[in-house]
Amino acid sequence: MIKPIKLISTCFLLIGLAILNPFGAEGQSPELKNTKFQAVFSRSGVSAFRALSDSADLFSQGDDWGNIEVQYRVNEEDWVSLITANTRFSKIDEQTVLFTDSLFEMPLCMKRSFNLKDDGLHLRVELTNTGKREIELGDVVLPVRWNSPDRRHENTTPKIIFEDSYIQKQSISLNSSFVSFSKPSGEGPFYLMLTGENTPLEFFDYSNQTLNTYIYSGRTGPKTEGNWRLPHTTHQLAPAGQRGNRVVFEFLLTSVPRYEDMRDALYQNGSLDVRAAPGYTVPRDLSTTVAIRLQGKIDSLIAEFPNQTEIKSLGTAPNGAQLYDIHFDRLGENLITVWYSSGEQTVMEFFSTEPIETLIKKRSSFIVNHQQHKAPGKWWDGLYSVYDMKYGKLRGPEDSDGFDGWYAYVLACDDPGLSKAPYVAAKNVVYPDSAEIASLEYYIENFVWGKLQRTDEEKPYPYGVYGVPNWYVSRDSALHAMLFPNDDKVMQTWRAYDYPHIIKLYYHMYEIAKEAPQWTHYLDANEYLERAFQTAVAYYKYPYEIWSWFDTYKWGIYNEWIILEVMSELEKHGRQADADFLRKEWEKKAKYFIYDDEYPYRSEYSFDRTAFESSFALAKYAVENPMKPDNKLWYDKNKKVWYSHPSVTKEDAEKFMDRQHYAGLSVRGWLAPKYYQAGADCASPKHTHEMTYMTMMGGWSVLEYGLYYSDNTDWLELGYNSYLSSWSLMNTGDQASGYGYWYPGKGKDGATGWAFISAKNGDTWLRKHEVRGVWHYDGEIDLGYGAAFHTARTLVVKDSVFGLHAYGGELKQDKVSVEVIPRDGVRQQFSYLVDDCRYHISLVQDGFLKESPVVISSDGKKLTFKLENRTPQALGEDSGLSHSTLLKIRSDKNIPKSLTVAGKVVSVRKASTGWEADLPVIKEQEEVTIQFK
């Protein structure tokens, strides 16, 4: 009960606060402003913050950044909230404001001081025990709300989405934690919320469009379902007047003009700036090099499993970072804790996998042997469907696990159902297996042709591909109308996303049949190429013709780059008119992306990470293939306008390539020392849908950009992290590891997750509840794995962070040469980027001999390797050994002087981008030497 005198005092206090409160002034809110930043305050915290170079605010009214929430208790009684309803506000000086939260009879006082300086807005939080008993802080939370695209549903325009909203990423890693914000356009400035000294973040959750970051989570964390890799802690405050009755936390809200500057912001704040090459997902046959840049002193690196982890100090990097070589023997998640600055600690999260080549082969084998329905007489005969790791079941129409109605597409069509066959086909171009090829032809004959895909004799829309929910329902108009009574009565062959899956499947089957006709029996090489071509024609014609709003020319659609390969093969076969048709359609889209849309980064959503594989492929084509100006190239039926391009230049294509590169980085992690964020796509604010198929597909574009179009080696590091990271979704292992980290069991060895959830738990858009880790279905991820076959490469590079090092290979150096053993998983591409030597080698049929080094002379001008003849491996016999394999050389600086195979000179011819040579292959292995001028 409150005593009368205290009640009177409280009333006078509240009246005084009402008189002095600056928020009483009509239409005005207190603000701090200097030459770089502006912060506007509400009654609870920061309601608007921006760099003065920016036209958009990071926060909106009601976001109230800095409004700390506290749950505490005394003597293990019930948890209570710190009451902030009567916050007292005062402006200390022109650059400092103070919020004080305390009430009579409340034993805890909180002061929040905001100070604006040249480097940003500093927040100092002080919690003090004013009572006579010890207080336990259970939760201390800094909620973060921001202007995200997800909050911009009403009256949204492309400018609002791309220029006035922000994609958020975070690293919750104890000390040196941070939250970053970048615009979907890729333009600056870039904002960061950094933690100060003695301010660890140990947990996060997401609710009510708010990211809750926890300094202490001992109350909420343990009762939250799921698993978590960091401790949930509480903190004891001693009684008033005693040592330890107060605790202080500090944050900095800042911005930098360029994406590349964010690392410097971490370093200048006293946080760890961490890099890893080749990445945080580490194949067991490789180690990773970690570079840690810090103003203070690194005391030690402590492994979670010290008996199965080897850490070696490599000294100091050229840029001052401390280098460490780390090798993991234990498969699965591995933590490394960095202790520094006499008591601060940050956690780095790694994942150790089997060798990438093992993963590639296991995945293909698992799809063929565990995910294909063999059900003669059933409409799903031959279907590759989704596998449920949790229950160890192949799902399908007779055992759907709730994937019914519209969601039945998950089982039998669209990206989850159609991505598996192209992956298996691409793998069999590189590592042929007769049983797997037979499985693919069974799928094409029994599930695709005349079922999923209309035949050449079915009119209208021959070669059309049926969409949601599956071909069986889509072909039956009565059944489709019963399930979807409100659907338009059009033929369900309009979904453009379905077509590239089938084009890619046919094209890889063409490659297989071309190299060894004895491997295929359903169609020959020319027939597979014809189907690939006709399906590509249907892709451009039918979706836009049936439903014009389906903007094939305006949306990035995964795997459409394969059309360029089809086009090239048509030209080689003398089918110039067919190739020209595809080229014209491709260039319509390339010009639209470069000239006709300021923000062409959409796909199924107004801003979509799916777009960035296509946007790069279109830009790359335009940079390397001159396009002509045009007048009235095509008519947009939706906008009722003609698109014309009176001026078309390579420079415009290069500018667009740079723009789309930085826009793509907005959905890709780079700073966080975590395997599921570094290089991974992570655009979901709920953090329930990360490290998807676009991790590797978009990562290909980042890596290629770094290889061919930029001197910034950051993009090699980021691109290779992207290539490796999503392999951690796979459930594989050996006997010692239980044949799988996520779902142990020999029968699940080779299964994989769809995506990653970094939150402790959450509901995915798939309508399945998951806890932290991989989704228990595979779904679309085989789209991503399919990108491995054009992304994988071993590269040797010299940079200012790691010095001379290799991505995807084991490197050794002496005075006369550099040797690197390719272990990238495919062993068909190699790059050397050291000083003035920059060249790239690609093999089109065979590969670099397994566990044999590529040897480069110390001056970089001579390269020798052993070629692996993969034909006898596939056939299991010696017949057919002799053939030729295509070698491609690309370099802007180094011209090939001579090339020999087994000591015999082979002629080299100029190609559109570089040089080519046909290597004669007679034996199981051949020695190849290239001498550069």
Quick: pLDDT tens for 325-370.
999 999 999 999 999 998 999 999 999 999 999 999 999 999 999 9
Of 666, 685, 701, which residue sits at a domain end?
Answer: 666
Per-residue pLDDT, 846: 96
* Pair (263, 278) in one structural domain: no
Token representation of residue 215: 């300094």
**What is the band of 13 on the pLDDT scale with cuts at 50, 70, 90?**
very low
Q: Is residue 887 part of a domain?
A: yes
DSSP state of 844: S
Of 666, 701, 724, which residue sits at a domain end?
Answer: 666
* Pair (79, 120) in one structural domain: yes
**Counting beta carbons within 10 angstroms of the beta carbon of residue 581, is it exposed (0 to 12), middle (13 to 18) or buried (19 or more)?**
middle
* Pair (291, 241) in one structural domain: no
* Pair (413, 545) in one structural domain: yes
The pair phi, psi for residue 207, each rounded to 5°, is -160, 150
* Pair (415, 343) in one structural domain: no
* Pair (125, 168) in one structural domain: yes
* Pair (218, 153) in one structural domain: yes
Q: Is residue 141 part of a domain?
A: yes
Per-residue pLDDT, 763: 93
**What is the band of 12 on the pLDDT scale with cuts at 50, 70, 90?**
very low
d(CA 464, CA 491): 9
Q: Is the pLDDT of residue 15 over 50?
A: no
* Pair (206, 61) in one structural domain: yes
Query: What are residue 862's DSSP bridge partners?
Result: 931
The pair phi, psi for residue 830, each rounded to 5°, is -140, 140
* Pair (531, 437) in one structural domain: yes
**What is the band of 880 on the pLDDT scale with cuts at 50, 70, 90?**
low
Instruction: Report the chain's terminal Cα–Cα distance, integer Å.
Output: 92
DSSP state of 518: G
Please give the angle made by the CA atoms of 166, 169 and 172, to the nearest 5 degrees. 145
DSSP state of 662: H
d(CA 689, CA 700): 20
Spatial contact of 718 and 679, defined as CB atoms under 8 Å apart: yes
Number of domains in the chain: 5
Per-residue pLDDT, 470: 96
Spatial contact of 43 and 87, defined as CB atoms under 8 Å apart: yes
What is the b/e burial string over 504-517, where b = at least 16 CB atoms within 10 angstroms of the residue's CB? bbbbbbbbbbbbbe
Total number of residues shown for the chain: 933
| CATH number of 919's domain | 2.60.220
Token representation of residue 272: 């760890």
* Pair (185, 98) in one structural domain: yes
Of 230, 249, 267, which residue sits at a domain end?
Answer: 267
Going from the C-alpha of 310 to that of each of 34, 300, 304, 328, the distances in angstroms are: 49, 13, 11, 7
List of residues 6+ apart from 404 with CB closer than 8 A: none
Q: Is the pLDDT of residue 17 over 80?
A: no
* Pair (241, 291) in one structural domain: no
Q: Is the pLDDT of residue 4 over 50?
A: no
**What percent of the chain is modeled with pLDDT above 90?**
87
Spatial contact of 690 and 609, defined as CB atoms under 8 Å apart: no
d(CA 218, CA 227): 14
Q: Is residue 715 part of a domain?
A: no
Domain containing 585: what range?
Answer: 559-666
List of residues 6+ apart from 749 with CB closer than 8 A: 362, 366, 731, 732, 733, 739, 740
**What is the band of 456 on the pLDDT scale with cuts at 50, 70, 90?**
very high
* Pair (127, 232) in one structural domain: yes
DSSP string, 698-710: HHHHHHHHHHHT-
| CATH number of 242's domain | 2.70.98.10
Whose tokens are 């260039």? That residue is 587
Q: Is residue 316 part of a domain?
A: yes
In this structure, are strands 794-799 and 803-807 parallel, antiparallel, or unpaired? antiparallel
Q: Is residue 676 part of a domain?
A: no
| CATH number of 277's domain | 2.60.40.10
State the CB neighbour count (10 A cutoff) for residue 916: 18
